[in-house]
Structure 1
């Protein structure tokens, strides 16, 4: 029986904790290669053209994610296994992603590394998208902010864990450890997760949106569901700005700030950023639930991302970059804590949650696809790093303004 989100029983603290660990493992697996490992491999192989080579790897991986993310949602919506709709894809995606990480650790050259990264991006898209659909499937609306805050917190901790593994270990060992962390943290959630089997005849009529299995479409109509479209656009803009700002962080520290140990500098900034996210994510998620408001949190945090980008644009000293990392951490913690709750509020139909969460994740996949190319062009044509960070801040600012076009959520 389909239960409306307002009528569900609350999930326990243990459930929330296990879900957070699941999300931490998935994002640590993604963050290690993205933050350090691939950049180190590419710089070792192509020291004179590392920026362009890294941009192409990330752009190609983003393109795969762009296709795999909505596909993963649609497939999990229509999975009728006795293990439920989401659990099989959370598990299979994680196992294939772990295999891809091992492959990348033993990559002898650029082409093999690229192939492993494409496989990883496709697999982790299925695992993450299925996991993100669990919350709107089973969590009551009054806990959306809490769970969204935990997701924001554990996403950031995942970045820290992935970066720490990449910094403390050799490249090959780091890939192997990251794969193990992914499998263990996904496994601990699935052991106690009860994902009810949903038969087609039981979800034929959607009590919220009136959607039927036979009426499946690729995307929800922007005319019929304008709030969904506006949230998608604002998420795209803010994420694109954030992605552009962070893409060349390692090289920014090496070439502009002149940090002797740039890899260690990335770790320090990540730690500062993470502490700020931890402080702000859970507090803002619960606060959002308590006051039953989403839009002010999303808008103000987007403006905070803009402020951090402005600081980075004119930074020449290490301590200024640390300040920018703190501002970005507070802002991004609030944004992530409430953004997912806002998404859950505007999902059009109950029968197609996986598809619609997948479409929302395209707003993250598109920046992963295009931010490397945009960042490279900005670095070359907008006056170097100042122009790059001004562009990133402008995109976040636009997203923070446009979110107020959402009408049916406060």
Structure 2
């Protein structure tokens, strides 16, 4: 299809649609990980067996999310419908996600819980993926930066709003909270689809098809060592961040908080998400200003490690609240500057999407591994230190934060001779 024949959505409408679609599809997944799914597991198996059941269920679903992440882009791109592939998946993903959320809400067994949460991740993931994909298809390259910034701020803003709403209605039932999320996302996803103009792609000629062999899938460490070091730093920091999903059980085990108190605490710490956004903007600006990235990435990783050590030995909920804010500041700065670093060291422009997708799997992979390992680590911590067992758990996460900082050292800094020899020229947003 020629560019002149492509339908384009007016810029403001497209930005509003993308922010609405991304925000309302990512927020439910984050809110589930912040406590809603934990209480569903507690309802199914009881509080005594919740830690093991929750870790197993989220670990299995995490593996599914990794697989979905590798193939969902192919599924979305191969969809051929007159209404447009992006609009279709915004609507189909919202409806499929709503039905999956209902199944999750009323799940009566762990297998049903696992299947439902896998489907929720797939369908809502397709909504956000379609919103991201519409940008390079319809927006001029010179506007990519501002659009990416606005869309990037949408998810934290919706998550923070969702946490505050959950806190304000903390005394409402779990089912009422879940149904509210379903309705808001369904409206947001459908409105986003109605706002955009989409295009029908009939496909490409056979001669244009390309295949990537297994040997060429992962960039050679010998030729592109910085790529592997960058992947490791991202993997290690994601290990640390994945452990934050255990905070709900940590609150129950160490501070004996009720469901109502936990949702009120979530509302209290919700502004930390906006602090993460501010830290990302600040870190990106300062790193560009001084033309240095590694000090910001390493420093931010170490800040998260210090916060996790504070969690390990905290005996007062106030320390946890303060640590939560500082952790989000460090993680926000790390994410923004590390993404810029990754953009700079990508092996090639031609395979940028493939290489970025490999990087992105570290989020789901780390979450899966942490959820599987958490019960064993907590049990070992109980036998070594006594108490609730979370001291060892958070200390191990702190070690991963430190490792994340250490593996940045071999990566060339901006403007170095090593970087000049491996210049990829074009910037790709992760």
* Superposition TM-score tier, normalisation by shorter sequence: 0.7 to 0.9
Confirm or deny that 1:324 pairs with 2:323: yes
Confirm or deny that 1:40 pairs with 2:36: no
CA contact (8 A) 2:166 2:263 kept: no
Supply the distance in 2 between the matched residues of 1:132 and 1:14 (Cα, whole angstroms): 14
CA contact (8 A) 1:254 1:262 kept: no
| Residues 114-153 of structure 1 mapped to structure 2, 5 A cutoff | 114-133=114-133, 149-153=149-153
Match of 1:61 in 2: 61
| Residues 6-405 of structure 1 mapped to structure 2, 5 A cutoff | 15-45=14-44, 46-79=46-79, 86-133=86-133, 149-167=149-167, 168=169, 169-194=172-197, 213-217=209-213, 219-223=217-221, 226-244=225-243, 246-259=244-257, 262-287=261-286, 294-345=293-344, 355-382=354-381, 383=385, 384-405=389-410
CA contact (8 A) 1:276 1:326 kept: yes
Supply the distance in 2 between the matched residues of 1:289 and 1:202 (Cα, whole angstroms): 42
Tell me by how many angstroms 1:72 deviates: 1.2
The secondary structure found in structure 2 opposite 1:49 is: helix
Tell me by how many angstroms 1:405 deviates: 3.9
Q: Deviations over 1:262-319 (max 9, x none)?
A: 4135414532422422432344445556666654443332222112112212211122
Supply the distance in 1 between the matched residues of 2:338 and 2:56 (Cα, whole angstroms): 29
The secondary structure found in structure 2 opposite 1:108 is: coil
- Normalised by the length of structure 1, the TM-score is 0.81
Q: Deviations over 1:74-112 (max 9, x none)?
A: 334555656666554444333322220122123234332
Asked which structure has the greater RCO (Cα within 8 Å, sep 6+), the reply is 1
Tell me by how many angstroms 1:407 deviates: 4.2
Match of 2:6 in 1: none
Supply the distance in 2 between the matched residues of 1:354 and 1:141 (Cα, whole angstroms): 16
Q: CA RMSD in A?
A: 3.6
CA contact (8 A) 1:152 1:337 kept: no
CA contact (8 A) 1:42 1:110 kept: yes
Check 1:345–1:195 CA distance in 2 against 1; reply closer, same or farther (3 A cut): farther
Supply the distance in 2 between the matched residues of 1:336 and 1:270 (Cα, whole angstroms): 20
Number of aligned pairs? 395
Check 1:400–1:386 CA distance in 2 against 1; reply closer, same or farther (3 A cut): same
- Normalised by the length of structure 2, the TM-score is 0.77
Check 1:408–1:16 CA distance in 2 against 1; reply closer, same or farther (3 A cut): farther
Tell me by how many angstroms 1:49 deviates: 0.8
Tell me by how many angstroms 1:395 deviates: 0.9
- The more displaced of 38-47 and 75-84 is 75-84
Gaps of 5+ in 2: 4-9, 416-430
Supply the distance in 1 between the matched residues of 2:352 and 2:335 (Cα, whole angstroms): 19
Tell me by how many angstroms 1:67 deviates: 0.7
Supply the distance in 2 between the matched residues of 1:61 and 1:361 (Cα, whole angstroms): 17
Check 1:147–1:392 CA distance in 2 against 1; reply closer, same or farther (3 A cut): farther
Check 1:28–1:146 CA distance in 2 against 1; reply closer, same or farther (3 A cut): same
The secondary structure found in structure 1 opposite 2:407 is: helix
CA contact (8 A) 1:74 1:354 kept: no
